[in-house]
Amino acid sequence: MTETPVLILTGASRGLGAATAFEAAQRGVRLVLNARDGTRLAQVAARCRGVGTAVHIVVGDIGRAATAARLVETALHHFGAIHSVIHNAGVLPPIAPVAQADAEAWEANWRTNLLGPVLLNAAALPHLRRTQGRIVHVSTGAAVRPVPTWGAYSTSKAGLNHLTRILAVEEPQVTTVAFRPGIVDTDMQALIREQGAGVMPPDEYARFVRYYEEGRLRPPEEIARLLLALALHARAEWSGEFIAFDDPRLQELVDLR
């Protein structure tokens, strides 16, 4: 990649997304950032501009086609190209067994976690083909390990893993991977500890409290480096894969420019 890369990043207002935006800014990556909370997103953008990179924001719900269209238009208008898209926006709720499924709550989850990436990919793919660009879907271990009461989240992320495989065969000019970030110290983990009690099976709930109490949550900055490395440098032959944060192949990408 000779040109300064242009990255579209969703869910950039806090957590792993905010850390990834700042990591990218420090590397001079030009950014188009998205989230619903415009105040927090503007703060992240200001911090990124502080290290000298160009940043634009698109405030809106990623589950809406209009937000996807605005993200792509903003990148093309200001930067003229798109090299990478990171689909990081995600929500965990509803935390409830399938037997108590609420249609609106499941639909809201799938809209953010799965339909959102589909819509943004549809809008960005013509431009990613031109740059032989990269797509990273931020997934989770729960996409392959069934966690009782996380049905909406787990199925959305399992869908995202398969969307990754579909794109790998439909779009040979674009490299698409899914990423498992591990257990990261963000609001999402706090929500599990706050809302999981008495709903998640006690052993599952205790596992997540233990991660926290034993200081085993990973700092977002550490995982952001790996996520960004994939978005900028994932190898074409990895297209379709579900790649974990502790995959040794990631280390070789981290120091690439």
Nearest CA to 148 out of 108, 208, 224 is that of 208
Nearer to ligand NAP, 90 or 196 (CB): 90
44-62 in b/e burial notation, b at 16+ Cβ within 10 A? Answer: bbeebeeeebbbbbbbbeb
* DSSP code of residue 112: I
- Would you call 157 a catalytic residue per the annotation? yes
Among the candidate windows 21-29, 182-190, 196-204, 247-255, which touches ligand NAP by CB under 6 A? Answer: 182-190
Q: Which stretch binds ligand NAP (CB under 6 A): 22-30, 68-76, 86-94, 166-174?
A: 86-94
User: Do the beta carbons of residue 152 and residue 109 sit within 8 Å?
Assistant: yes
Report the length, in residues, of the chain. Answer: 257
Q: Does position 140 bind ligand NAP by CB under 6 A?
A: yes
Nearest to ligand NAP of 87, 233 (CB atom): 87
Check: CB of residue 196 under 8 Å from CB of residue 212: no
Residues 28-67 binding ligand NAP (CB under 6 A) are: 34-37, 40, 61-63
Q: Look at the alpha carbons of 49, 7, 116, 137 in this order and tell me if their dihedral is positive or negative.
A: negative
Q: Which is nearer to ligand NAP, 10 or 175 (CB)?
A: 10
Binder to ligand NAP among 102, 170, 187, 252 (CB under 6 A)?
187
Catalytic residue among 157, 205, 211, 239: 157
Least distance (Å) between residue 183 CB and ligand NAP: 5
Task: Please give the order of strands across the beta sheet that includes 84-87.
Answer: 55-59, 30-35, 6-9, 84-87, 134-138, 175-180, 242-244
SS3 55: strand
What are the CA-CA distances from residue 99 to residues 94, 113, 146, 172, 247 (Å)? Answer: 12, 21, 15, 40, 36
CA angle 120, 83, 49 (to 5 degrees): 95
Determine if 17 is a binding residue for ligand NAP (CB under 6 A). Answer: yes
Give the residue with the Cβ less far from ligand NAP, 12 or 228: 12
Closest separation in Å from C-beta 257 to ligand NAP: 26
Whichever of 4 and 162 has its CB closer to ligand NAP, that residue is 162
Number of residues that bind ligand NAP (CB under 6 A): 30
Tell which one of 5, 7, 9, 13 touches ligand NAP (CB under 6 A). 13
Q: Which amino acid is at 247?
A: D
Asked whether position 89 contacts ligand NAP by CB under 6 A, the answer is: yes
Among positions 154-173, residues that touch ligand NAP (CB under 6 A) are none
Catalytic annotation, residues: 139, 153, 157
Instruction: Kindly list the residues in this chain that would bind ligand NAP in the complex (CB under 6 A).
Output: 10-17, 34-37, 40, 61-63, 88-91, 112, 138, 140, 181, 183-184, 186-189
